[in-house]
Structure 1
Amino acid sequence: MADRTDKMLRDYFSGRLKLMAEVEPRYKKDMADIKFCLSVIKPEHSEVIKRYYSDKFITWEEVVSEAGKSHSSLRTWRNDFKTLLNVMTQHGDEFIELRHEALQV
C-alpha cells in the first residue's frame, strides 16, 4: 500500500513536485529533503530508488531483476531510504539547529 512518502517520491521523480513548489513554496523543503537523502546513500541504492519511483508502470519485481540483487535487499534499501526521508521531513530543522549549536562549542 502506498503511503505519503511513496506519493512524494513519485511526485519528485516525475517532476510534479517541482511544479507544485513553484505554486506552493512549502514543497521546496520536500525537494531539498529528498535531494539530501539521495546524496547520503550509496549510489547503487540511489539508482534503485530512482528507477522504481521514476516509472509509474515499473513493478518492484522488474527493478529487482534489473538490479540483480535479492528482493529482500532492495526492499531493505527502499525502507531504509523512506525512514531516513521521514526523519528528515519531520525533524530536519531540529538537526540543523543541533548542528549549528555543536559548531559553536
Structure 2
Amino acid sequence: MADKTDRLLRDYFSGRLKLMSEIELIHKQEIADITFCLSVLAPEHREVITAYYSDKFTTWDIVCSEMNMSNAAVREWRKDFKKLLNVILQHGDELAHLRQEASQA
C-alpha cells in the first residue's frame, strides 16, 4: 500500500507536484527537497528510484528485471531513499541552519 511519501514521489515524477506548487508554496520546497535527495544518490540508485516512480504501472519486479538486480537490493535502496527524504522533509530547515553554522565556524 502506498504511503504519503510514495504519493509525493509519484506526484514529483509525473509533474503534478510542479503544477501544485503554483497554488501552494510548500510544494516548491518539496520539489527542492526531492531534487536534492536524488542528487546525492549513487547513479544506479537514482535510476532505480526514477524507473519505479515515473510510471504508476511499473512494479518492483519489472524494475528488478529491467535493471538486472535483486528485488531485495532495490527495495532496500527505496527504503533508504525514503528515510533520507523524510528526514529532509521534516528537518530540512534545521539541517540548513546547522550547515550554515558549521560553515561559519
Q: Does TM, scored on the shorter chain, surpass 0.5?
A: yes
Q: Alpha carbon RMSD of aligned pairs, Å?
A: 0.6
Aligned residues: 105
- Structure 2 residue runs without a partner (length 5+): none
Could you give the per-residue CA deviations for residues 44-102 of structure 1, whole angstroms, max 9, x where no partner exists? Answer: 00010001001011111000100101110000000000000000000011011001111
Unaligned 5+ runs, structure 1 = none
| 1:1-20 paired onto structure 2 within 5 Å | 1-20=1-20
TM-score of the superposed pair, with normalisation by structure 2: 0.98
Give the drift of 1:104: 1.3
Q: For 2:73 and 2:102, how far apart are their aligned partners in 1?
A: 35
Task: Give distance in 2, aligned partners of 1:101 and 1:41.
Answer: 25
**CA-CA distance at 1:103 after TM superposition:** 1.2
The list of structure 1 runs, each at least 4 consecutive aligned residues, that deviate by more than 2 angstroms after superposition, is none
Paired-residue identity, %: 63
Quote the Cα distance in structure 1 between the aligned partners of 2:103 and 2:14. 37
